[in-house]
């Protein structure tokens, strides 16, 4: 047996070989376990940093000859030169059959999908939460499969976000322009036609569901222009002759008789439906009177002008006093966030 005595006289215990083997095995297992934990922690985590700032926006996909890739994170390019009115007109006239068929089928599928979601009986908040969870699941899968793909799918400063903002702004401006052009009561005859058309549309909406009405109008927008364009030579003379005959018969009557007949019919129709329709009928009668009796309407406006103007000024003054009182009360009781300068003073 070998001597295990140390130089200072102490005896060293021999180290068993089995103990060394166990320690090496334990170290291997612990290192393997730590690697497994790190790999699990790193599952779906972002890629290692690179010298390129935001590499997801600098990937070269070789799409055409454009300098920057077409990805959701690419800034939105302005398209001021695009004539959307002509685009819509060509689509409804089936100038490009593939494009028209695509938008027709896409619109029908979208309307039916929205109708199914609204008629499913699920509350609106439930539907919103489910859609949000679906988006979260999609982001989770993208992050797990490719972190770089998830970096490109961000919504902030993306092409789709900028496009949505521009489309929303354009839609609001279009609605404002349509309001000023068609709903501002500039032309009495035009105002009467629009009022009667909207009232008729509201009554049709009670006979069928809103989704079916939208579906019929949407399909009609793709069919009516084509049918009219193909049969314009026969439709225009027939409509013109019929309108001329009706106009001649109506013109032969005294305007007071016409006004009385129209007023009675409209008020009876509104009375038979609801109080709201009765109010709409009264409004339509007023518009009709303004269109058929322009001189009398101008005289009434001249008489009401000196009375309404002081009332408007008084109402504005009262509203200003009430607004200032409410604002002072809200500041006094701190019902709104207090600016930092006032709070520190």
Confidence of residue 343 (pLDDT cuts 50, 70, 90): low
* More confident call, 33 vs 157: 157
Separation in Å, CA 234 to CA 231, 237, 243: 6, 6, 15
- 70 has a pLDDT exceeding 50: no
Location of structure tokens 């799409």: 63
Least confident range of 39-48, 183-192, 204-213, 264-273: 39-48
**Per-residue pLDDT, 274:** 85
**319: number of CA atoms within 13 Å, CB side?**
6
Q: Is the dihedral of CA 217, 223, 224, 226 positive or negative?
A: positive
Per residue in 193-221, is it b (16+ CB within 10 Å) or e — as a string? eebeeebeeeeeeeeeeeeeebbeeeeee
**Average model confidence (pLDDT) across the chain:** 78
Helix axes 97-119, 210-230, angle to 10 degrees: 160
Separation in Å, CA 330 to CA 169, 339, 343, 345: 33, 13, 15, 18
**In angstroms, rounded to a whole number, what is the distance separating the alpha carbons of residues 222 and 92?**
5
Q: Three-state DSSP class for 170?
A: helix
**Per-residue pLDDT, 32:** 54
Q: Is the dihedral of CA 299, 302, 308, 312 positive or negative?
A: positive
**325: number of CA atoms within 13 Å, CB side?**
6
- What confidence tens digit (pLDDT) does each residue in 149-203 have? 888 888 888 888 998 999 899 999 999 999 999 998 888 889 989 999 998 888 8
- 15 has a pLDDT exceeding 70: no
**Per-residue pLDDT, 65:** 42
Per-position DSSP letters for 291-337, written without gaps between them: HH-HHHHHHHHHHHHHHHHHHHHHHHHHHHHHHHHHHHHHHHTT-SP
Over residues 45-50, the mean pLDDT reads: 46
Location of structure tokens 């291997």: 28
**Per-residue pLDDT, 143:** 92
Alpha helices in the chain (DSSP H): 17-41, 84-92, 97-119, 124-145, 147-152, 159-182, 188-207, 210-230, 232-252, 255-273, 275-292, 294-332, 340-344
- What confidence tens digit (pLDDT) does each residue in 233-251 have? 999 999 999 988 888 887 8
Confidence of residue 225 (pLDDT cuts 50, 70, 90): very high
- What confidence tens digit (pLDDT) does each residue in 247-262 have? 888 788 777 787 788 8
Structural domain spans, the chain: 185-292, 295-345
282 token code pair: 């009264």
């Amino acid at each position: 047996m070998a001597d295990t005595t140390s130089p200072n006289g102490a005896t060293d215990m021999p180290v068993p070989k089995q103990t060394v083997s166990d320690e090496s095995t334990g170290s291997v297992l612990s290192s393997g376990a730590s690697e497994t934990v790190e790999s699990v922690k790193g599952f779906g985590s972002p890629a290692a940093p690179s010298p390129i700032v935001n590499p997801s926006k600098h990937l070269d996909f070789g799409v055409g000859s454009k300098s920057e890739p077409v990805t959701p994170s690419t800034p939105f390019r302005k398209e001021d030169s695009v004539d959307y009115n002509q685009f819509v007109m060509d689509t409804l006239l089936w100038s490009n059959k593939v494009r028209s068929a695509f938008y027709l089928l896409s619109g029908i599928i979208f309307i039916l999908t929205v109708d199914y979601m609204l008629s499913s009986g699920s509350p609106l908040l439930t539907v919103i939460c489910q859609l949000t969870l679906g988006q979260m699941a999609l982001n989770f899968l993208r992050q797990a499969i490719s972190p770089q793909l998830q970096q490109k799918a961000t919504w902030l400063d993306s092409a789709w976000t900028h496009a949505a903002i521009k489309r929303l702004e354009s839609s609001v401006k279009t609605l404002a322009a349509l309001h000023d052009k068609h709903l501002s009561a500039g032309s009495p005859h035009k105002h009467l036609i629009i009022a009667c058309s909207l009232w008729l549309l509201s009554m049709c909406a009670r006979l069928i569901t809103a989704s079916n009405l939208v579906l019929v109008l949407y399909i009609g927008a793709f069919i009516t222009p084509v049918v009219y364009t193909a049969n314009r030579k026969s439709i225009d003379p027939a409509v013109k002759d019929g309108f001329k005959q009706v106009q001649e018969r109506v013109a032969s009557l005294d305007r007071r008789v016409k006004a009385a007949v129209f007023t009675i019919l409209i008020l009876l129709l509104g009375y038979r439906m609801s109080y709201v329709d009765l109010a709409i009928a009264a409004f339509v009668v007023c518009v009709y009177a303004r269109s058929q009796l322009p001189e009398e309407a101008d005289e009434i406006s001249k008489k009401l002008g000196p009375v309404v103007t002081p009332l408007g000024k008084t109402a504005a003054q009262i509203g200003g006093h009430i607004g200032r009182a409410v604002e002072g009360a809200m500041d006094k009781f701190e019902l709104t966030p207090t600016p930092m300068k006032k709070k520190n003073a």
